[in-house]
Amino acid sequence: EQEQISVTKQPLQGSSVKFTCKVFDGSDSTYIHWYQAPAGEAPHRLLYLTLPGSDLKQEAGFSSDKFSAYGTQSISNLAVHKLEKTDSTTYYCATWDHTVLQKHSHSVQKPTLYSPQQPF
């Protein structure tokens, strides 16, 4: 479980703000997701990206002029640009370890049924 922190920022209207999210140490997750949660609503995913780097996938309806993100192996940054009053909300980052399908290299043999012959 990752420690949860809260950060409040008060930038000027029209400016930009940056949020930083540290990925849990020891995680081998390669994706980090950023969400926006307006008061009284369920969170909406804004975008996700591959770490490290900036292979960014934005959700439909969210502009790259408004939101951008990048990251290293252990940190991701979300930037919100051209701030307006409607941007005053809660932002979350999330990540998880990916599920791995494992292939076992040994073969499995079905049991052979043997029934001794019954005398007549």
Question: How confident is the model over 3-41, as pLDDT tens digits?
Answer: 666 677 777 888 898 888 887 665 555 788 899 888 899
Is 54 a residue whose pLDDT tops 90? no
pLDDT attached to residue 111: 47
Amino acid identity, position 98: H
Domain membership flag for residue 48: yes
Structural domains in the chain (count):
1
d(CA 65, CA 80) in angstroms, rounded, equals 9
d(CA 119, CA 101) in angstroms, rounded, equals 51
Going from the C-alpha of 33 to that of each of 12, 64, 75, 89, 110, the distances in angstroms are 26, 15, 12, 17, 45
Domain membership flag for residue 46: yes
Compare 2 and 40 and report the one with higher pLDDT: 40
Compare 46 and 59 and report the one with higher pLDDT: 46
The closest of 35, 45, 32, 17 to 73, measured between CA atoms, is 32
For residue 55, what is the domain's CATH number?
2.60.40.10
Q: Is the pTM of this model over 0.75?
A: no
User: Domain limits at 75?
Assistant: 17-94
Amino acid identity, position 35: Y
Asked if 98 and 31 touch (Cβ cutoff 8 Å), the reply is yes
